[in-house]
Amino acid sequence: MTKAVCPGSFDPVTNGHLDIFNRAAELFDDLTVLVTGNPSKKTSGLFSIEERVELIREVVDPSIKVDWWGGLLVDYTTAHGVSTLVKGLRSSLDYEYELPMAQINRRLSGVDTVFLLTDEKFGYISSSLCKEVASYGGDVSGLLPDPVAKAVVERYKK
């Protein structure tokens, strides 16, 4: 059985991420979405690590596991027998950012990274753009899963 992990900060998870998770789940028998970050550190994120995990659990297929990790990614993959990381690629900018991460992860532990090309519908969506739009009261429906869009709007009301 090939174990795979989709790692990311997911602050918050978008419809683009969700599409990658669903497509990765078709390719791998055992898929975990892994939120990276340390819950004991107060990060500058919109949502805490626990909140991000809860939001993802609310919107992913129950066959997909959701976990978090505060350390080096390869320590998680080695400890859990994960052979493959899965990430979405929207553009050459993503490629430039992802390439050295994939290479260092492989050098450190042998874990491979598989890239899925983002569906054209989601190519322009990012967590940070969605937060920017929502922070000014703009409409993020269709960009984020409904429960996530609701949580983002609520958070900016505070």
Residues in contact with ligand PNS by CB under 6 A are 7-9, 36, 72-73, 101, 104-105
Of the listed 90, 106, 150, 155, which one is catalytic?
Answer: 90
Q: Is 10 annotated as a binding residue?
A: yes
Q: Which is nearer to ligand PNS, 78 or 155 (CB)?
A: 78
Minimum distance between the CB of residue 137 and ligand PNS, rounded to whole angstroms? 25
Q: Report d(CA 79, CA 98) in Å as an integer.
A: 22
Q: Which residues pair with 67 in a beta bridge?
A: 34
Q: What is the DSSP string of 62-125?
A: TTSEEEEE-S-HHHHHHHTT--EEEEEE-SHHHHHHHHHHHHHHHHHH--EEEEEEPPGGGTT-
Tell me whether residue 127 is one of the annotated catalytic residues: yes
Minimum distance between the CB of residue 53 and ligand PNS, rounded to whole angstroms? 14
- Please give the annotated binding residues for ATP, written as ranges: 9-10, 17, 88-90, 98, 122-128
